[in-house]
Amino acid sequence: MSNDDWWVLSAIIGLTIVTVITRGFFMFPNKEIPLPTWLKRGLKYAPLAALAAVIIPEIVTSNGSLIATWQDARLYAVPAACAYYFWRQGILGTILAGMAVYLPLRLLLGW
């Protein structure tokens, strides 16, 4: 094995160890860890914040810069998906509604 292969292997092993420790952190103790009320309240919003941090840049940017035109299928698919979600509150329907708007605009019009 070359020197680069050892670096890759050691990085994989190190990342595996870090992942197991961080994901198993709450399973290691024998009893529940008491958390302050303010932290419990804040952790309720963590999944929503993480989702927004991933999705919003994907919607408003293209190749690392802000979208400069209204002819982008994502800008029309997002309101359609949001409208369906607020109407029916189903995840699968939300995805299908967004894709029903996105795909024709993207494939037929080339947006």
111 residues of the chain, pLDDT tens digit each? 787 889 999 999 999 999 998 888 777 777 777 889 999 898 888 888 988 999 899 889 988 899 888 999 999 999 999 999 999 988 999 999 999 999 999 999 988
Rounded to two decimals, the pTM is: 0.60
> What count of other Cβ atoms lies within 10 Å of the Cβ of residue 57?
11
Specify the pLDDT at position 78: 94
The dihedrals phi and psi of 69, each to the nearest 5 degrees, come to -135, 155
The residues, any chain, with a CB within 8 Å of residue 83's CB and separated by 6 or more, are 97
